[in-house]
Amino acid sequence: MIELPEEIIELILSYAPNFHDNLKKCHGEILQNRPCFYKRVHAGFKPGISDSPTWHNFSNRNSFINVPIKTPMGTISMYSIELYAIEITPERPPNDRHWHSRDMNLYYGWARMKDLSFWDMITRANADYNKLSPGCY
C-alpha cells in the first residue's frame, strides 16, 4: 500500500468542503416543515411481488392510485395520487410472526406538513371513511 505525502493529503483535504453546518441547517429546515405522504400501501415483497416475472414493470403499473373525495357540493370526484417512493425492507431471519421475509411500502403523494391544501384534502377524503393514511417521510 502506497502512502501519500502529508502535503498532498492536506491539499486534498483543503478541497473537501465542510458539510456539517449546511447539513444541520438543511435538517433544521426539514424538521420545521416536514415532507408528508398522503397514503402508504404495505405489501409483502419476498415471497410475493418479487417472484413475479413482471416485477421490473411494477412501478409503471402502480405509479398512480385514485382516491374518491367528496366535494363541498356533495358529489364524489376521483383524485389521482402519484407514487413517490418505494421502500423495501432488509431481509428478516425466518420467524413465526411474519409470512414475508421482506416487506415493501409504497408511498403515494408528497406535500409539506404546513401546506394547508394537503390537510384539506386529507380531511375531505377521510370524512366518510379513512381512505388516506398520511404520515411523514
Q: Is the pLDDT of residue 122 over 70?
A: yes
Query: Quick one: which of 108, 122, 120 has its CA closest to 80?
Result: 108
Mean pLDDT of 3-27: 76
- 19 falls within a domain: no
Residue 67 lies in a domain: yes
pTM for the complete prediction?
A: 0.66
* Residue type, position 10, single letter: E
Is 15 within a domain? no
Range of the domain at 100: 34-136
Number of domains making up the chain = 1
Query: What is the pLDDT at residue 130?
Result: 75
As a whole number, mean pLDDT of residues 109-124 equals: 83
Instruction: Answer whether residue 110 is part of any domain.
Output: yes
- In this prediction, residue 29 carries a pLDDT of 81
pLDDT (0 to 100) of residue 48: 65
Q: What is the pLDDT of residues 47-88, one digit of tens each?
A: 666 666 766 677 677 888 888 887 778 788 888 889 988 888
What cell was used for 112?
Answer: 409539506
Of residues 105 and 26, the one with the higher pLDDT is 105
Q: Is position 9 within any domain?
A: no
Q: How confident is the model at residue 19 (pLDDT cuts 50, 70, 90)?
A: low
Q: What does each C-alpha distance from 7 to 1, 2, 12, 18, 108 come to in angstroms?
A: 18, 15, 9, 19, 51
Containing 77, the helix (H) or strand (E) segment is strand 76-88
Q: Is 20 inside a domain boundary?
A: no
Q: Let me know if residue 131 belongs to a domain.
A: yes
Confidence class for position 25, pLDDT limits 50, 70, 90: confident
Count of residues making up the chain: 137
